[in-house]
Amino acid sequence: MSDNSCSQSGLIQEFLDAQTDKMLKSRLDAHLKECPTCRKEFAEFESLFQSLGKSLKIPETCPDSALMAKMRKEVAAKRPDSKDSPLAWFERLFAVFFRPALVLAVVLLIFSFVIIRSRSTLKPDMTTPVLSHSSLNLEKNEVDVVFSLDSDSVKVGNKLIKVAELKSFEAGPAYALPESSVVVLRSDASKIKLTKAARFRLARNSFELLNGHADFSLKGDHKDFELKTDFATVSVIGTEFEAQVANNQLSVKLSGGKIVVKTTNGSVMQLDKPMQSVVVDRQGSFVEISETNKNGALPAVSGQPDRGPADSDSGGNLENTF
């Protein structure tokens, strides 16, 4: 096979492909004057191009009328704007309107399902007080935890707070507050005072004291409210009492009203006289029962409240550390 080593040889075929290019023609003319190899090749390619033009010329043909009619019919059936076929018109209508409407309907259905589900989880049981708002005020060293029957909002002091704001509070895992923080239950008059070391967890209608000391002052109807500890549950009926969890023991002292202490092993004791107190151990046994306490302190629980790591939070609960 021959090989034209001239760097300008590509110009020949390019020129023969587009002979109207004047720039190309002048460049090629200039080169051909100087290059005999390309002159010879130009003549050969020119002859080849002429021969290819003749040899590859395709004859003019036309589809017969039957084939034309068949193609017309097929195209008409497949065209989206075809007026010939009612079925095609319906398909177009489906594509333009029904398909997006169907997709929209499915999306709306899923969306409303999610909304209903989320509302149903937020909506409180009308017979049970639920935790509807918690707020943290570092300036006043206060934490307010409010139970309410109102599903939409709750009044804290003079401020009306929407339940939805609770979401922002749920994200916070733990808070360090000075002593004498105040937890408000249901009304401004019902308070639980917590020591600095107290750790608690709030469920739907219970206050779970994990560790530390809490003073309860609850007014009004709190029959659904319970104080829970690892060792015993204290049911409350309009009362004031103190509770302390430390060294694997729960100490409870009644100030007023009436409480029922039910331990984990099934023992039950009702305290209905002021200054009555009990101590419950880990096994759920009443280890000390005292009718009065002259200095007003809780029955002796040795050592300071534990400050161990927070227990893993159960779903929907809120745990704070003081």
Which residues are near other proteins by CB under 8 A?
A: 1-3, 10, 13-14, 17-20, 40, 44-45, 47-63, 67-68, 70-72, 74-75, 78-80
Q: State whether residue 62 is helix, strand or coil.
A: coil
Q: Which is nearer to other proteins, 93 or 110 (CB)?
A: 93
Smallest distance, Å, CB 12 to other proteins? 9
The token duo for 166 is 């609770």
Smallest distance, Å, CB 4 to other proteins? 8
- List the beta bridge partners of residue 259: 236, 271
Smallest distance, Å, CB 77 to other proteins? 8
At which residue do the structure tokens 């309107």 appear? 97
Q: State whether residue 95 is helix, strand or coil.
A: helix
Q: Which is nearer to other proteins, 80 or 296 (CB)?
A: 80
Q: Which is nearer to other proteins, 20 or 295 (CB)?
A: 20
Helical (H) or strand (E) element with 259: strand 249-263
Smallest distance, Å, CB 61 to other proteins? 5
CA distance 85 to 75: 11
Nearest CA to 32 out of 2, 11, 56 is that of: 11
CA distance 322 to 143: 10
The token duo for 44 is 């050969």
Q: Which is nearer to other proteins, 92 or 307 (CB)?
A: 92
Crossing angle of the two packed helices 36-55 and 10-17, in degrees rounded to 10: 40
CA distance 48 to 206: 99
CA distance 143 to 185: 11
Smallest distance, Å, CB 33 to other proteins? 20
Residue 4 falls in which region: left (phi positive, over 0), alpha (psi -120 to 50) or beta: beta
Q: Which is nearer to other proteins, 40 or 123 (CB)?
A: 40
Q: Which is nearer to other proteins, 62 or 176 (CB)?
A: 62
Smallest distance, Å, CB 73 to other proteins? 9
CA distance 216 to 254: 9
Smallest distance, Å, CB 64 to other proteins? 10
Q: Which is nearer to other proteins, 47 or 265 (CB)?
A: 47
